[in-house]
Amino acid sequence: MHADPRGVLTGVHFIDGDHACCEGTLAAGARFASGYPITPSTEVVERFASRIPTVGGLFIQMEDELAASITLQGAVWAGAKAFTVTSGPGFSLMMEHIGYAAMTETPCVFIDVQRGGPSTGLPTLPAQADMMQARWGSHGDYGIIALCPNSPQECFDLTITAFNLSEEFRVPVMMMLDECVGHMTEKVVIPEAEKIEVTPRRYTTQTPEEFHLFEPKADMVPDMVKAGDGYRFHVTGLTHDERGYPSMNTETQDVLVRRLLDKLKPLANGRALCETDGLEDADVVVVSYGITSRVAQRALQMARKQGIRAGKFRLISAWPFPAERIAELAGRVKAFVVPELNMGQMVLEVERAAAGKAKVISLPHAGGTVHRPETILKAIVEAAR
Amino acid sequence: MNEEMLEIPYEIPEDARNPVEPFLRMDRMPHIWCPACGIGTTVNCFTRALLDSKANLDKVAIVSGIGCTGRVAGYARLDSFHTTHGRAIPFATGLKLANPELQVVVYSGDGDLFAIGGNHFIHAARRNMDLKVICVNNMTYAMTGGQTAPTTPGTAITATAPYGATEPTFNLVALAEAAGASYVARWTTYHVKQLARSMEEILNKKGFCFIEVLSPCPTLYQRRNKMGDGLDAMKDYKAKSKVRNGAPTSECTLSKYGEIVVGKFVDRERPDYLETLKAQMTEALGDRYIEPEGTCCSEC
Indicate if A173 and A306 belong to the same structural domain.
no
Indicate if A91 and A188 belong to the same structural domain.
yes
Q: Tell me what pLDDT residue A268 has.
A: 86
Quick check: A80 and B288 CB within 8 A? no
pLDDT tops 50 at residue B264: yes
**Residue A66 included in any domain:** yes
Quick check: A70 and B83 CB within 8 A? yes
How wide is the angle at C-alpha A177 spanned by C-alphas A272 and A74, nearest 5°? 85
Mean pLDDT, rounded, for B117-129: 98
Quick check: A62 and B123 CB within 8 A? yes
Q: Which of residues 292-321 of A touch B (CB under 8 A)?
A: none
pLDDT tops 50 at residue B70: yes
Which residues constitute the domain of residue A311? 274-384
Quick check: A79 and B294 CB within 8 A? no
Please tell me if residue A238 touches chain B, with a CB cutoff of 8 Å: yes
- CATH for A375: 3.40.50.920
Quick check: A245 and B120 CB within 8 A? no
Which positions in chain B touch A79 (Cβ < 8 Å)? 98-99, 295-297, 300
pLDDT digits (tens, 9 = 90+) for B223-240: 999 999 999 999 999 999
Give ipTM to 2 decimals.
0.97
**Residue A374 included in any domain:** yes
Please tell me the pTM assigned to this model: 0.96
For chain B, give every domain's residue range.
Answer: 23-272
Average pLDDT, chain A: 97
Gap from B232 CA to chain A (nearest CA, Å): 33
Lowest mean pLDDT, pick from A146-155, B16-25, B260-269: B16-25
Q: Tell me what pLDDT residue B6 has.
A: 67
* Pick among B95, B108, B122, B290 to test the A interface (most A CBs inside 10 A): B95
Which positions in chain B touch A71 (Cβ < 8 Å)? 90-91, 93-94, 97
User: What span, in angstroms and rounded, lies between the C-alpha atoms of B7 and A145?
Assistant: 61
Which positions in chain A touch B72 (Cβ < 8 Å)? none
Among A170, A195, A220, residue at a domain's last position: A195
**Residue A46 included in any domain:** yes
**Residue A241 included in any domain:** no
- CATH for A21: 3.40.50.970
Among A174, A195, A216, residue at a domain's last position: A195
Q: Are B133 and B208 in contact (CB under 8 A)?
A: yes
Question: Strand A122-126 to strand A108-116: parallel, antiparallel, or no bridges (unpaired)?
Answer: antiparallel
How wide is the angle at C-alpha A33 spanned by C-alphas A31 and A35, nearest 5°? 170
Quick check: B295 and A32 CB within 8 A? yes
Indicate if A35 and A169 belong to the same structural domain.
yes
Closest B-chain CA to A101: B83
Q: Tell me what pLDDT residue B17 has.
A: 86
pLDDT tops 80 at residue B8: no
**Residue A158 included in any domain:** yes
Indicate if A52 and A185 belong to the same structural domain.
yes
Count the neighbouring beta carbons within 10 Å of the beta carbon of residue A190: 23
DSSP state of A48: H
* Nearest one of A282, A73, A47 to A152, comparing CA atoms: A47
Give the end-to-end CA distance of chain B in Å, rounded to a whole number: 58
Quick check: A237 and B79 CB within 8 A? no
Indicate if A34 and A141 belong to the same structural domain.
yes
Q: Tell me what pLDDT residue B15 has.
A: 86
pLDDT band at B300 (very low <50, low <70, confident <90, very high): very low
Quick check: B99 and A226 CB within 8 A? yes
Mean pLDDT, rounded, for B129-147: 97
| CATH fold label, B23-272 | Rossmann fold (3.40.50)
Quick check: B84 and A64 CB within 8 A? no
Closest B-chain CA to A199: B299
Q: Tell me what pLDDT residue B4 has.
A: 55
User: What span, in angstroms and rounded, lies between the C-alpha atoms of A300 and B213?
Assistant: 68
Indicate if A83 and A171 belong to the same structural domain.
yes
Segments of chain A with pLDDT less than 50: none
Q: Tell me what pLDDT residue A18 has.
A: 98
pLDDT tops 50 at residue B299: no
pLDDT tops 60 at residue B294: no
Helix, strand and coil content of chain B, in percent to the nearest 5, comes to 40, 15, 40
How wide is the angle at C-alpha A210 spanned by C-alphas A209 and A216, nearest 5°? 135
**How many domains does one find in chain A?**
2
pLDDT tops 50 at residue B296: no
**How large a percentage of chain B has pLDDT more than 70?**
95
Indicate if A88 and A190 belong to the same structural domain.
yes
Closest A-chain CA to B28: A245
* Nearest one of B189, B245, B243, B194 to B217, comparing CA atoms: B189
Give the number of beta-carbon pairs within 8 Å between A and B.
181
Quick check: B96 and A74 CB within 8 A? yes
Indicate if A15 and A156 belong to the same structural domain.
yes
Q: CB-based contacts of A267: which residues, under 8 Å, 6+ apart?
A: A145, A165, A169, A317, A320
Q: Tell me what pLDDT residue B16 has.
A: 85
Which positions in chain A touch B119 (Cβ < 8 Å)? 63-64, 67
Count the neighbouring beta carbons within 10 Å of the beta carbon of residue B268: 11
Q: Which of residues 182-201 of A touch B (CB under 8 A)?
A: 200-201
Q: Are B231 and B36 in contact (CB under 8 A)?
A: yes
pLDDT digits (tens, 9 = 90+) for B72-89: 999 999 999 999 999 999
Mean pLDDT, rounded, for B54-65: 97
Quick check: A71 and B91 CB within 8 A? yes
How wide is the angle at C-alpha B90 spanned by C-alphas B263 and A64, nearest 5°? 115
Closest A-chain CA to B92: A74
Gap from A99 CA to chain B (nearest CA, Å): 10
Gap from A79 CA to chain B (nearest CA, Å): 5
Quick check: A63 and B123 CB within 8 A? yes
Quick check: A31 and B292 CB within 8 A? yes
Indicate if A164 and A282 belong to the same structural domain.
no
Quick check: B91 and A73 CB within 8 A? yes
- Least CB-CB distance to B90: which of A71, A79, A233? A71
* Pick among A71, A81, A202, A214 to test the B interface (most B CBs inside 10 A): A71
Q: Is the peptide bond before A40 cis (omega within 30 degrees of 0)?
A: yes
Among A195, A214, A244, residue at a domain's last position: A195
Q: B52 to each of A169, A210, B110, B114, how far by Cα in Å?
A: 42, 30, 26, 29
Indicate if A16 and A165 belong to the same structural domain.
yes
Which positions in chain B touch A32 (Cβ < 8 Å)? 94, 97-98, 295
Which positions in chain A touch B84 (Cβ < 8 Å)? 70, 96-97, 100, 237
- Least CB-CB distance to B93: which of A52, A71, A100? A71
* Nearest one of B243, B250, B242, B246 to B265, comparing CA atoms: B246
**Residue A206 included in any domain:** no
